[in-house]
Amino acid sequence: MHDHKDHLSYTKDEIKKNLVLLEAHGKNYPCPECINKHLTAVEGLAEEGTLMTQIPEERSQFLKMADWARNMRRQLQETV
């Protein structure tokens, strides 16, 4: 069975992976559908992260990241 730290670590790793893929799509493969998919994943994972940490600064960073991803998705939808 996984403990709480494992879930938080997994969430952080998945955010990192999606950010790397987002960067690659933004630079090399400008695909709006893929960019939206990775932004949605970052948003959801960051929202989950807020529930997994007791550290106020970390919770704040997760909230900022979720807001950033949400706003970027909205901007992308306005341009497509």
DSSP per-residue codes, 5-49: HHHHHHHHHHHHHHHHHHHHHHHT---HHHHHHHHHHHHHHHHHH
According to the model, what pLDDT value does residue 31 have? Answer: 87
Count how many domains the chain has: 1
Domain that holds residue 51: 4-79
pTM score, whole prediction: 0.89
| pLDDT value for 44 | 98
**pLDDT-flagged residues of the chain (< 50):** 1
Place of tokens 């879930």: 7
| pLDDT tens by residue, 47-63 | 999 999 999 999 999 99
Q: How many CA atoms lie within 13 A of 63 on its CB side?
A: 9
Q: Quick one: pLDDT at residue 1?
A: 47
Nearest Cα to Cα of residue 39 among 60, 79, 67, 12 = 67
Q: Identify the sign of the CA torsion 21, 23, 29, 33.
A: positive
